[in-house]
Amino acid sequence: MPQIARLARPSQLSETVSKTIEQWIVDGVMAPGVKLPTEKTLSAEFGVSRAVVREAISRLKAEGYVASRQGAGAFVEARPGQASFRLGEAADSASAETTTHVFELRYIVETAAAALAASRRTDADLARMREALLRMRAAVIEGGDGTQADDDFHVAIATATGNPALVRFIRFVGHQFFTSREPTWNAEGHATGRAEAAQAEHERMFEAIAAGDAAAAREAARVHMVEAARRVGIDTDHWDPAPVAPWDEEALP
């Protein structure tokens, strides 16, 4: 095991420990199949409690880097990090670069999802979207918080694609960066017109999906994602103006 510098006392010690061990694994310092040092050893080397080490190892297990063997300890997985997916830092501590990358990912996925939803939506799907829109409209009128309704609207669009994997992904992304919608729906967002603008964008998306117009739905979603990114200070000038999903045959030449 490499030499470890004693840690200061950051707010998330377990995250610091897990990221350090993760980097060892990624760099090949700890190869697949290698047994992790004991909790006692890691606790002493990092200068943290065993509870912190235990939580760090739990993180590594959840992210597919290590696995426990009954009575033997924790070992580096054969294909570390490939059994799960994560976006990076937690939403409340994400760097500007991480946030930009996630918004670009959302832009690619949600524009394609809107187009697919326009082709596959059912009356029940439209009812779910409409209900979320009404809650957002009420929030605009009352100056309230439409964050959850905003998230529900995007999940309803994903549901309308009929692709459960896409629904799970949109839910995951929405949960990770739920707070990125707050600047739209907080008091400043209402005062500056961000909430009203977002609502108008959502309504254009709904109208295109309800009309079964995949091209218009994609364009409405594109405009919304660009504007949503700009509302939190992200430069979108380098984004592809019209991302096309491989399954969206109508958009292919």
Residues 206-218 pLDDT 10s: 999 999 999 999 9
206 or 240, which is more confident: 206
Is residue 98 packed enough to be buried (19+ CB in 10 Å), middle (13-18) or exposed (0-12)? Answer: middle
The pLDDT of residue 3 is: 57
Residues of the chain with CATH 1.20.120.530: 93-245
Tell me the percentage of the chain whose pLDDT exceeds 70: 83
pLDDT digits (tens, 9 = 90+) for 147-159: 999 999 999 999 9
* Least confident segment among 41-50, 124-133, 172-181: 172-181
* Least confident segment among 13-22, 55-64, 94-103, 113-122: 94-103
The pLDDT of residue 47 is: 92
- Give the C-alpha distances (Å, rounded to integers) separating 137 from 26, 174, 224, 231: 47, 20, 16, 19
Question: 231: number of CA atoms within 13 Å, CB side?
Answer: 25
CATH among 3.40.50.1980, 3.40.50.720, 1.10.10.10, 3.30.2020.30 for 13-76: 1.10.10.10
Q: What is the number of other CB atoms lying within 10 angstroms of the CB of residue 162?
A: 15
Residues of the chain with CATH 1.10.10.10: 13-76
Residues 6+ apart with CB under 8 A from 80: 25, 26, 32, 64, 65, 66
Residues 6+ apart with CB under 8 A from 132: 149, 150, 152, 153, 156
Residues 6+ apart with CB under 8 A from 105: 87, 173
Q: What is the number of other CB atoms lying within 10 angstroms of the CB of residue 165?
A: 9
57-84 CB burial, b ≥16 within 10 A, e <16: bebbbebbbbeeeeeeebbbbeebeeee
Asked whether the beta carbons of 92 and 179 are under 8 A apart, the reply is yes
Per-residue pLDDT, averaged over 38-47, amounts to: 92
Q: 3-class SS at 66?
A: strand
CATH of domain 93-245: 1.20.120.530
Which tokens go with 182? 């707050």
The pLDDT of residue 92 is: 46
For residue 73, what are the β-bridge partners?
A: 69
Going through 54-110 in order, the beta strands assigned E by DSSP cover 66-69, 73-76
Q: Where does the pLDDT of residue 112 fall: very low under 50, low under 70, confident under 90, or very high at 90 and above?
A: very high
The pLDDT of residue 251 is: 44
Say how far apart CA 103 and CA 98 lie, in whole Å. 9
Predicted TM-score (pTM) above 0.95: no
114 pLDDT higher than 90:
yes
